Amino acid sequence: MLAFALAQVWNIPLHGLWAVLTAVVVTQMSVGGSLHATTEYVLGTLGGAIYAAAVGGLIPHDTALALAGVLAITIAPLAYAAAVKPSFRVAPFTAAIVLLISSELGEGPVESALYRLLEVAIGGGVALAVSLFVLPECAHGVGAAAAARILDLLAQLLPKLLAGFTREVDIAETTRLQQEAGRAVASFQAIAAEANRERLINLVADPDPAPLVRSLLRLRHDLVIVGRAAAAPLPDRFAQRLGPPLARIAECMSKYLHESAQALLSRRAPPPLKPAQEALATYNSEIRALRQEGLTRTLSIGEVEQLFTLGFALEQMQRNFADLERCVHEWVRPSRQTESKRVK
């Protein structure tokens, strides 16, 4: 509505259609998303409008056939540019609008291009103003919720995967959770990119999201490794001996992931790592006992690889849990500083 009102003030043709559409299209979930969308939209519009105005001004197109030729000459290189660089994807559309609307409204190509640029500037400016002052949702807050969802998914998935070393599990269910976790991580990477844009323009003093992205991606990879190793249960003797330690690991690590998710959402300190570390130490002690008893010599090469892969993945998860702890500390710290300032 604000874009529409501004278009009426400046008496822009078609009642400010392009300004209103631009404001609707580029307003995103966060300030960083709106900034990115507006920047790409303005660059694409600028390139398309300037090129269309140049071609339309240099080549007469008074007939339908001539206009078709000008459209082809204009849109072909812009379409190639959009294929090479996605930020120019709006350029061919803008060029078509400049050429077709100018002929309908009796405007010259240059005048039409200037109107399109003005409308996009109005729409983009309104979108940023709304994102900043009306619905000020920063990508940092959106990212915390997205990261917490990933941690909850991993917490659900880990016990199911570890159970696969002692019994048959539902492969379809674990595969579905693995894919859902992968999509969630990809979505969080996009949100982190928006958060970085907000940091670049100093809108917020939030931490760099890249370490948390790396930590979550590594944890996701750890669970992929565990899932591949758990394709078949271990031999009965090993399943009986390692079942209780693995169940304890699943309980402690899953709880740590859930509580880390809650810490991100409620902006509090991360949970202690000690229970998960103790559970892993118990598992390693049982593995050493099995080796000392000579039982590992009875395993086939594939079973030895399965056991080694599990141990490697668990050790990696312990390291990545420590990284996650540091990341959660960083993500909750800005809110604490803000609260202390408010108290003062």
Task: Inform me whether the pLDDT recorded for 204 exceeds 60.
Answer: no
Task: Point out the least confidently predicted range of 16-25, 181-190, 236-245, 254-263.
Answer: 16-25
* Average pLDDT of span 101-130: 73
On whether both 84 and 45 belong to a single domain, the answer is yes
* Average pLDDT of span 282-310: 89
On whether both 103 and 166 belong to a single domain, the answer is no
On whether both 124 and 170 belong to a single domain, the answer is no
Q: Which residues contact 313 (CB under 8 A, 6 or more apart)?
A: 222, 225, 226, 229
Report, in angstroms and rounded to the nearest whole number, the Rg of the chain calculated over CA atoms: 28
Task: Point out the least confidently predicted range of 89-93, 109-113, 188-192, 300-304.
Answer: 109-113
On whether both 103 and 248 belong to a single domain, the answer is no
On whether both 293 and 166 belong to a single domain, the answer is yes
On whether both 79 and 129 belong to a single domain, the answer is yes
On whether both 128 and 151 belong to a single domain, the answer is no
Type of residue found at 230: A
On whether both 159 and 36 belong to a single domain, the answer is no
Q: What is the extent of the structural domain holding 160?
A: 139-343
On whether both 194 and 321 belong to a single domain, the answer is yes
Residue-wise pLDDT for 9-39, tens only, equals 877 766 677 788 778 777 765 666 666 677 7
pLDDT confidence tier of residue 258, bands split at 50, 70 and 90: very high
Assigned token pair, 331: 């993500």
Type of residue found at 237: R
CATH code for position 203: 1.20.58.220
Q: Which residues of 181-219 are buried (b: 16+ CB within 10 A; e: fewer)?
A: bbebbeebbebbbbbbbbbeeebbebbebebbbebbbeb
Please identify, among 134, 161, 181, the residue that sits at the C-terminal boundary of a domain. Answer: 134
Residue-wise pLDDT for 61-76, tens only, equals 777 788 788 888 888 8
pLDDT of 283:
92
Within 10 angstroms of residue 119's Cβ, the number of other Cβ atoms is: 26
Distance CA 264, CA 142 (A): 11
Distance CA 42, CA 283 (A): 57
On whether both 156 and 300 belong to a single domain, the answer is yes
pLDDT of 119:
80
- Helix 64-84 to helix 31-58 angle, to the nearest 10 degrees? 140
Task: Inform me whether the pLDDT recorded for 337 exceeds 50.
Answer: no
On whether both 189 and 224 belong to a single domain, the answer is yes
Within 10 angstroms of residue 106's Cβ, the number of other Cβ atoms is: 8
CA–chain centroid gap for 243, Å, is 36
| Residue with tokens 């206009």, as numbered in its chain | 67
From the list 133, 148, 155, 52, the residue with the least C-alpha distance to 96 is 52
- How many distinct structural domains can be found in the chain? 2
Please identify, among 111, 134, 157, the residue that sits at the C-terminal boundary of a domain. Answer: 134
* Average pLDDT of span 264-288: 90
Task: Inform me whether the pLDDT recorded for 92 exceeds 70.
Answer: yes
pLDDT of 341:
39
Total count of residues recorded for the chain: 344
Q: What percent of the chain has pLDDT over 70?
A: 83
On whether both 194 and 125 belong to a single domain, the answer is no
pLDDT of 138:
57
Please identify, among 134, 152, 169, the residue that sits at the C-terminal boundary of a domain. Answer: 134
